[in-house]
Amino acid sequence: MMSRHCTAAILVSCLALTTGSALAWHDETHLAVAKAAGYQKWYNAAGADIAKEKAGSVERKNHYCNNNRGVEVTAAMVLEQVPRYNDPKDDEGHLYGAIVAAIRAYEQRALEGKYAEYHLAYAVHYLGDLSQPLHNTPFDEFNRTRHEKNDGVVDRAVLQNVSRIQRLMRPVVLGRESFEQDLAREIAWIANDARKLGERMRKENRDMTPDEAYGQLARSAALLEAVLDRVQP
3-state secondary structure the chain: CCCHHHHHHHHHHHHHHHCCCCCCCCHHHHHHHHHHHCCCCHHHCCHHHHHHHHHCHHHHHHHCCCCCCCCCCCHHHHHHCHHHCCCCCCCCCCHHHHHHHHHHHHHHHHHCCCCCHHHHHHHHHHHHHHCCHHHCCCCCHHHHHHHHHHHCCCCCCHHHCHHHHHHHCCCCCCCCCCHHHHHHHHHHHHHHHHHHHHHHHHHHCCCCCHHHHHHHHHHHHHHHHHHHHHHCC
- Give the model's pLDDT for residue 3: 46
This prediction has a pTM of: 0.90
The domain tally of the chain equals 1
Q: What is the pLDDT of residue 57?
A: 85
Residue span of the structural domain in which 92 resides: 4-231
CA 219 – CA 221 distance, rounded (Å):
5
Closest CA to 116 of 44, 21, 46, 188: 44
For residue 152, what is the domain's CATH number? Answer: 1.10.575.10
* pLDDT per residue rounded down to tens, the chain (233 residues): 444 444 433 333 443 344 444 468 999 999 999 999 999 999 999 999 999 999 888 999 999 999 998 899 999 999 999 999 999 999 899 999 999 999 999 999 999 999 999 999 999 999 999 999 999 999 999 999 999 999 999 999 999 999 999 999 999 999 999 999 999 999 999 999 999 999 999 999 999 999 999 999 999 999 999 999 999 98
Q: How far apart are CA 35 and CA 103, in angstroms?
A: 19
